[in-house]
A and B are shown apart, each in its own frame.
Chain A
Amino acid sequence: MQDKMQDKNKTQVLTKARTGLEHLIKTAGKSLTVAGTSVARRDDPLKVTGKLKYGADYPDEGFLYGKILRSPHPHALIKSINTKKAKELEGVVAVLTAEDVPGRNGFGAIIPDQPVICGDKVRFIGDGVALVAAESEKIAHEALKLIEVDYEPLPALFDPRDAMAEGAPKIHESGNLLSDDKMVKGDVDAGFAEADVILERTYQVPFLEHAYLEPDTTMARLQPDGVMLVEGPMQAPFTTRRNVAPVLGIPINQVRVRQIHMGGGFGGKEDSPIDIGCRAAVLAWHTGRPVKISLEREEITIQTAKRHPMIMELKVGAKKDGTLTAFQGVIYDEQGAYASLGPKIPPAGGSHVHAMVMMPGPYEIPNVKVDAYLVYTNHPYGGAMRGFGAPQVHIAHEQMMDELAAELGISAVDIRRKNAFKLGSATATGQVLNQSVGLRETLEACAERFDWDRRLAECGWVDQAKTKRRGVGVAMGWYRTSIGTNGDGCGAAVHVHEDGSVLLYSGITEMGQGAFTVLPQICAEELGIEPGDVRIVQPDTDLVPESGPTVGSRSTTLMGNAIILAARQVKESLLDTASMMLMVPTERLEARGRKIYDRENPGKSLGFAAVAARTMASGKRMIGQGWWTPPPPSLDGHTGQGSPYHVYTYSTHMVQLVVDVETGEVALEDYVAAFDVGKAINPKALEGQIEGGVAMGLGYALMEEVVLDHGVTQNPSLQGYLIPTMLDVPDIQPLILEVPNEMGPYGAKGIGEMPNIPATPAILNAIAHASGGRVSRLPADPEKVFWAIREAGGPPQA
C-alpha cells in the first residue's frame, strides 16, 4: 500500500529528545500510526502523468485577455493618458485608467499603497498605468501600444541610504522611511568594553527572484449572483480576497477566491496573485466578462515582488575564548516602490521586523542593539521569499562568526559551540527559549555525519599546480514557526461521512511543499483512519474557514493543530456512538486502523465506517471545527523586547567545496544539512523541503541576482537570471532531528523556509576557507570570488 511506504534507510530520524520535556507532548506515550511515515504524495499520480491542471492549463473558453501597460520610468508624474486610439481598436472591450477603479485604488498584503492603476505618478519601472481587456491576447497587446501616456520624469532613488537622506524626493507622500525599528538589550557599550576583540563588517545582498517555474495566471469572473470569483495559483487566497473586495468597493463576502494548484510559490505567490487578481477583477467588473491575465516570465521578473536587498553593518565583540559580549547592527532594508510584506504588522509581523529580530543569530549575547530601517526606493519591491528577511541577516551573522573565529584563532565549529542557543537561553529580544531547542544537537549531529574534523584536516590544495583549493564551511540558523502577528489564527473543519470517508476543509494551499499530503495524515492520525480516507478540499474562500496564508512555515504546525482540534470534536461524537454500540465507556475506546475498539479488550471492536453511519443516523455531530492561534506574540515597539514568535526551528549546515583560485569558480562536493524539526510528520516530504531549500540557498550564494541599472531590470528572463541546474547542486544529505515542540502537532515545528537559510552563508564560509576570499557582496560569482582572493592577498599557501 503506497500510504504505508516507509523508507527508514534513507531517512535518518533521530527520535531521542534531549529536552526532557517529553511528558509535555500531546501525544506522549502514544505511538503514532500515520503521522511520522513517508506517505506518498497525494497528487503524485496526476503530476507524473501530466494530468494535474495548473493555472495556465484551464481551457481558454470565453475569456477576455487582460494586459497591463507598464511604466517605462522609475519615477515620474503622469501628466495625461489618452486611451482613445486603444479603445477604437477592434476587439478591445475595455481600456481602464485610475478613475475606473470602482473602489479603493490600492492593494498590498499589509498596506494598500500600490495603485491598481496609477493615477498621478509611477514609482518603478513596471508600475501599472492602464489596463486593457480584449478578445485576444494579441489585440490586447496591440492596444497597449496605442495608449499614449505623457510622463514628467522625477529624480529617482535607487539606494535606501540616499532615499533616507534629508531632502530626498518623496516617493510616497508619507516619506521614504517606511519603518524604523529598534532592538535594545543590555548595554552594548559596556559589552564592547568587555570584549578582547571587536570586529566590524558590512555585508550586502541583492534583489532575488523566486523563479517559480509556473508563470502567474489569474482568472476573474463576475458570477450571476454578483459575486466576484477570482481563481489562480496563489499562496494566500484570504489575503487576495481581502484586497479584491475593497478594490471593487464590495464586502468581503461578495468575493470568492479559489486556489489552483501551484507550480511553486516560495513566497512570491503570496503577493503576485493580489496584483493580477485585483487587476483582473476590475476588468471583469467593467466588462461583465471573464478575464484572464497571464504573465510571461520576463513580466514576472519585472513586475512582481522580490526578496529584499539589504545593506547590513555589524559590529561584534568577543572574549578571547570566543564568548560573545556585544552585538550591534544596522540594517538598510530596501523596500522598493511599494510596501508589500515589508512593514510591521503588530507586534512582530512583516519581513522587516523579522529580519531585525533574527539579526544577531541563534547565539546568547548579553548586549545587543539593532537599528533597522525599511526604506522606499524606485526599484521593484521586496516581498516574501522563503525565509522572510532571515536569509539576508544569516548571511551577515554567519559570516561574521567565521571571521571572528579566524581572528580569535579558534575553529568555526567551536565558536558556535560556545555561543549557540540551548534550552533556557535568552534571545536578543529577551525571549527565554523554554522548550524544543535542538540547535546544538544539529551542530553535533551534522559534524558527526559530515565528519567535520577529518574533512577540515584534509582541506588545502587539490592539484600540484596550486590552482584549486578545497575548503569546508559551516553555518547555523534559526527560523520561527508562524508569523508573529496578533491575528495569526488558523481554522479547519473535518466532515466525517456515513461511509467513513472524510472531507478536510482547510485554506492552506499546495505549492509543492506537500500540505495536501501532510494535513490529511494528521487528520487520519487523529481519527484512527488511513490518509487515503481523507480528501482535502481545494482551498476556496466560499468553502473553507479562514486559515491565514500559506507562509511563515506555519502550515503543518498551525493548521495541524486546528485539524487535531476539529477531528477531536467530531471524534467525540463518534466515540459516543461507539460507546453505546459496544457498551464500553468512551475513556476506554481507541480509534486506530479504521477501527474503534476497547483498549482493554481489543477484540471488542467496530469498523470506523459502521460507527460513522450510526452516528449520522442518530443525528449526532458529523462535523468538527477547529481554530488554533499561537500564544500571543509580543515585541515592544521601542526596545524590541518580547516574545515575537512562539517556537523556532534550528539547523546546522556543512559543506565541502573546491575553489579555482585563479578564476574564482566554485564547485560544491558534499553537503550535510541537519535540522531540529520537532517531529517529521512525513520524513520524505521533509527531506524534499531540505534538499530544495539548500539548492535555493546555493543559488543565492553563487549566482542569483536581479541586476538593476537605473531601475531597469537587466536580466528578466531565465537566460539572464540564473538558478542552479542539476550540475550545480551536489548530493545534499538531509539529517532530521526531533526535539519535540510541546505546542505542535505531535511535536512538529515549521520547516518550509529553514533549509534555505544557512545554506548561503555555509557556502560563503567554505569559499573563504578554501580560498581566503571573503565575499561580502553577493552573489559570489567567479568574478567576486576572484577579487576577494586578490583583496585577501592571494590564497592561503599552506
Chain B
Amino acid sequence: MSTMELSFKLNGRALTLNVAPDTLMVDLLREDLGLTGTKAGCREGECGACTILVDGTPMNSCLMPALKVQGREITTIEGLEKADGSLEVLQEAFMGEGASQCGFCTPGMILTATALLKQNPDPDEGEIRQALSGVLCRCTGYRKIVQAVKAAAKARA
C-alpha cells in the first residue's frame, strides 16, 4: 500500500509525514506520533474521549481519516501545556474542582471546553452542558466538570 504525504500543524508545529491512506487520526496521533493523551474509548464517535481541535473546532479523531487534516491546525491535549510547563486556566480549574476521576475523559472534556470558552467566554450552565454533551464520563456525574468550566470562565473574565 502506498503512503501519501500529509502536512499540517500539530500543537503549533508544522509537520509533514507520509501516512497510509486508511490511517485514522486517532491512530496517527497515538501510534505514529506517540501522543497518547488522545484516548480511544469506543472508536465510533460515541464517547468523545478522542476529541481533538481542528482549526479550533472539536471533532472525533476516531472518525477522521488522517488525510483530512491536510493544511489544518490540530490541537491535542499535549498542546495546551505551555513551554514553561504552566497550564491553561481550564486545566487548573479541572484540578481545583476535582473534575477528573479516572481521567480518561479529561483530555476530551478539556479540549471541548477550550473551544466553548473561546467562542463563548461566559457560558451558562445549559450552554456548558450542551457543548460538552458529546463527551461521556462514567465517573463524575459531570457536576464537577461543569463547575470547573464555570470556574475557568470566571478566572479568565
Contacts and interface: CB of A to CB of B under 8 A. Distances in A.
Interface in A46-68: 46-54, 56-57, 59-60
Interface in B29-62: 30-31, 34-44, 46-47, 49
B130 A213 contact: no
Interface residues of A, number: 59
B107 to A, nearest CB: 5
Q: From DSSP, what is the main secondary structure of chain A's interface residues?
A: loop
Please name the 5 residue pairs, one residue from A and one from B, whose CB atoms are nearest each other, closest first.
A50-B37, A512-B102, A263-B104, A47-B103, A691-B141
Given A49-B87, A264-B102, A719-B46, A725 B136 contact: yes
Contacts of B47: 213, 718
Identify the interface centre among A50, A51, A53, A59: most chain B CB within 10 Å of its CB.
Answer: A50
A78 interface: no
B103 A49 contact: no
B12 to A, nearest CB: 16
A48 B106 contact: yes
B144 A48 contact: no
A263 B30 CA distance: 17
Given A40-B95, A688-B144, A262 B102 contact: yes
A266 B138 contact: yes
B78 interface: yes
Interface string A96-135: 0000000000000000000000000000000000000000
A430 interface: no
B102 A213 contact: yes
A598 to B, nearest CB: 38
Nearest to A300: B42
Nearest to B41: A213
Contact of A213 (B49, B98, B129): B49
B18 interface: no
Contacts of B74: none
Nearest to A695: B141
A61 to B, nearest CB: 12
Nearest to B91: A48
Interface in B124-149: 125, 129-130, 132-133, 135-146
A692 B101 contact: yes
Contacts of B110: 48
A729 B140 CA distance: 10
A211 interface: yes
Given A49-B37, A50-B36, 8 more contacts: A44-B94, A45-B87, A51-B37, A297-B42, A691-B141, A717-B44, A719-B42, A729-B143
Interface in A268-311: 296-297
B142 A49 contact: no
A57 B36 contact: yes
Contact of B133 (A50, A264, A726): A726
B77 interface: yes
A220 B82 CA distance: 37
A694 B144 CA distance: 13
A44 B100 contact: yes
A213 B104 contact: yes
A272 to B, nearest CB: 15
A212 B139 CA distance: 8
Given A49-B77, A696-B138, A717-B42, A726 B129 contact: yes
A265 B145 CA distance: 20
B44 A718 contact: yes
Contact of A214 (B37, B81, B104, B145): B104
B142 A48 contact: no
B44 to A, nearest CB: 6
A38 B98 contact: yes
A266 B102 CA distance: 11
A684 interface: yes
A685 interface: yes
A233 to B, nearest CB: 9
A297 B101 contact: no
A142 interface: no
A514 interface: yes
A17 to B, nearest CB: 26
Contacts of A214: 39, 41, 102, 104
Contacts of B153: none
B137 A513 contact: no
Contacts of B91: 48-49
A687 interface: yes
B136 A718 contact: yes
Nearest to A211: B138
B96 A5 contact: yes
B39 A54 contact: yes
Contact of A729 (B44, B46, B142): B142
9 contacts: A41-B95, A53-B36, A264-B102, A264-B139, A513-B101, A688-B98, A688-B144, A718-B46, A727-B133
